[in-house]
């Protein structure tokens, strides 16, 4: 039995029927590398063989009576793999659009909290004989880094890996009684006055550091919440999701980075900004002020002894969508993110972790449902416009049951008031972009996905002009 950290539990409390808090994935595999040919049974058998190594796949939630404290994780005594791993057929012609349509429906449905909080769907019938894999895992059990660690256990480095040593059998774990849960909760609660005092001291120190950095800073700092302009995708969300993907070249992104002396993350944000700018201009709604993005940041390396699956923080940054010149936009973003990171570092990696421990289950859950049910996101200025995550992936090929991974697009949760999430992940020489949005707010999400190609192309041309070279135009997305 293991209690959820405050941050892990908060992802449960803020979930509503419209505001799903699972993270998802759209992947494509080439089964031509499978010895003896592909079959669904091979995929299922591989997942079953790896279950002893993946605690997140075996455990389920147990709620504490009267919500006296955060829930606990317990090994599910009634685990049923066939509930969690299913197969579907992709309708003709079997392109990425049809796969993403299935992903949209898949991500529109919440996970069953009476079972381990994950599901996989194997999608057969893609063009060229490829196979799709859709996955969703609740945010309470993984963040970006711990989600990548799941890949280590599920994927292999070669089509036919050497047999792995079988882990020692685990003793069966029983579901604790209500009395045991209450006693465990009360013991944990007894530590909270001390934790609260530490959090207050840490907050005072963080605010002093932030004030110092802002006094000394020369460029723009972190964008403030509630300063984002309203767009058509900023408002109350529904349960329905739309999914689209795009693919970019990592070497070309690195060349832009080298040409202008920025970071890869700055270039990724500039590509997102350029795509959003094109999309909004076409719709006649480009705001005069820049869009504001929230960028999650892993603090796992800074908090090596922190508990819980989620060890993340975030900063707000301007996307400079009001700047027409792509190079000027990139430089503005680089300056904004540099200042935002300095202020984020001044606040400290543990601020969010510390205060999340005091989240009251019943209060948070009711407040979230009230906010969503009354559509309060329509009545105030957006806290931010969207979430953009940049996750570094492996530079070497991965395999699942012998099938070579060809594309991997993560999908983050869509937030109330910000109906678009963009997650970017590098894999070998590619950068795969996963876009997920509230269907009613962004029914034309594929138009934005296609804008990523043009946004990348204008930065490539600017980099070529910087070095005196000429580059061909990028091909259109399917």
Handedness of CA 33, 36, 37, 42 (dihedral sign): negative
Q: Round to whole Å and give the CA distance between 442 and 450.
A: 14
Whether 139 is a known active-site residue: answer yes
Q: What crossing angle do the helices spanning 250-260 and 264-282 adopt, rounded to 10°?
A: 100
The predicted model gives 341-365 an average pLDDT of 73
How confident is residue 276, by pLDDT bands cut at 50, 70 and 90? very high
User: What average pLDDT does the structure give for the chain?
Assistant: 89
Q: Which of 84, 139, 240, 344 is catalytic?
A: 139
β pairing state of 292-298 and 386-391: parallel
Position with higher pLDDT, 304 vs 89 = 89
Give the tens place of pLDDT for each residue, 223-272: 889 999 999 999 999 999 999 999 999 999 999 999 999 999 999 999 99
Among 141, 144, 150, 149, CA closest to 8: 141
Beta carbons within 8 Å of 133's beta carbon, 6+ residues apart: 25, 26, 27, 28, 29, 120, 121, 122, 123, 400
CA 121 to CA 100: how far, in whole Å?
A: 12
pTM of the model: 0.90
Residue 17 burial class via C-beta count within 10 angstroms: exposed 0-12, middle 13-18, buried 19 and up: exposed
By CB neighbour count within 10 A (0-12 exposed, 13-18 middle, 19+ buried), where does 379 fall? exposed
137: helix, strand or coil: strand
Alpha helices for 78-191 (secondary structure H): 81-84, 96-107, 144-154, 178-189
Query: Is pLDDT of 475 > 70?
Result: no
- Listed in sequence order, the residues at least 6 apart from 436 whose beta carbon sits closer than 8 Å to its beta carbon are 24, 104, 107, 241, 242, 243, 411, 412, 414, 420, 421, 423
Listing DSSP states for 182-208 in one string gives: HHHHHHHHTTHHHHHHHHHHHHHHHHH
H or E element: which one contains 391? Answer: strand 386-391
CB 58 within 8 A of CB 51: yes
The per-residue pLDDT for 193 is 73
**What is residue 358's predicted lDDT score, i.e. its pLDDT?**
73
The residues, ordered by sequence, that sit 6+ positions from 9 with a Cβ below 8 Å of its Cβ are 70, 71, 140, 356, 359, 361
User: Which contiguous run of DSSP H or E holds residue 437?
Assistant: strand 430-438
Residue 478, pLDDT score: 43
Phi, then psi, of 217 in degrees rounded to 5: -70, 145
The pLDDT value recorded for residue 476 is 45
Element (H, E) at 336: helix 326-347
């Amino acid at each position: 039995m293991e209690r959820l950290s405050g941050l892990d539990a908060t992802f449960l409390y803020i979930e509503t029927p419209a505001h799903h808090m699972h993270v998802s994935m759209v992947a494509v595999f080439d089964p031509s590398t499978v010895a003896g040919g592909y079959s669904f049974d091979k995929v299922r058998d591989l997942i079953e063989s790896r279950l002893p190594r993946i605690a997140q796949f075996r455990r389920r939630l147990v709620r504490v009576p009267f919500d006296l404290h955060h829930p606990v994780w317990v090994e599910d005594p009634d685990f049923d793999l066939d509930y969690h791993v299913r197969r579907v057929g992709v309708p003709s012609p079997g392109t990425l659009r049809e796969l993403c349509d299935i992903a949209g429906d898949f991500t529109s449905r919440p996970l069953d909290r009476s079972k381990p909080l994950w599901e996989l769907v194997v999608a057969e019938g893609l063009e060229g004989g490829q196979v799709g894999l859709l996955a969703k895992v609740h945010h309470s059990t993984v963040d970006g880094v711990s989600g990548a660690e799941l890949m280590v256990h599920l994927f292999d480095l070669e089509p036919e890996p050497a047999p792995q040593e079988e882990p020692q059998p685990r003793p069966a774990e029983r579901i604790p009684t209500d009395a045991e849960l209450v006693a465990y909760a009360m013991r944990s609660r007894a530590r909270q006055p001390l934790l609260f005092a530490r959090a207050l001291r840490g907050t005072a120190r963080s605010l002093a550091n932030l004030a110092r950095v802002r006094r000394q800073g020369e460029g723009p700092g972190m964008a403030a919440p509630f300063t984002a302009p309203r767009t058509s995708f900023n408002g109350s969300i529904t349960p329905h999701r739309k999914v689209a993907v795009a693919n970019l070249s990592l070497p070309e992104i690195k060349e832009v980075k080298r040409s202008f002396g920025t970071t890869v993350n700055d270039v990724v944000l500039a590509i997102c900004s350029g795509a959003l700018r094109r999309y909004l201009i076409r719709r006649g709604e480009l705001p005069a002020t820049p869009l504001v993005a929230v960028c999650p940041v892993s603090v796992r390396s800074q908090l090596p002894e922190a508990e819980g699956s989620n060890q993340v923080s975030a900063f707000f940054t301007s996307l400079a969508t009001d700047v027409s010149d792509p190079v000027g936009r990139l430089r503005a973003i680089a300056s904004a993110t540099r200042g935002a990171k300095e202020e984020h570092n001044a606040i400290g990696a543990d601020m969010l972790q510390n205060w999340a421990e005091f989240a009251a289950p019943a209060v948070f859950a009711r407040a979230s449902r009230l906010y969503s049910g009354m559509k309060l996101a329509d009545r105030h200025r957006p806290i931010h416009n969207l979430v953009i995550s940049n996750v570094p992936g492996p530079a070497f090929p991965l395999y699942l049951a012998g099938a070579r991974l060809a594309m991997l697009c993560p999908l983050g949760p869509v937030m109330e008031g910000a109906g678009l999430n963009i997650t970017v992940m590098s894999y070998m020489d590619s950068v795969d972009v996963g876009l997920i949005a509230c269907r009613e707010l962004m029914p034309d999400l594929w138009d934005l996905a296609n804008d990523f190609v043009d946004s990348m192309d204008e930065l490539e041309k600017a980099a070529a002009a910087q070095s005196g070279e000429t580059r061909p135009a990028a091909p259109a997305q399917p």
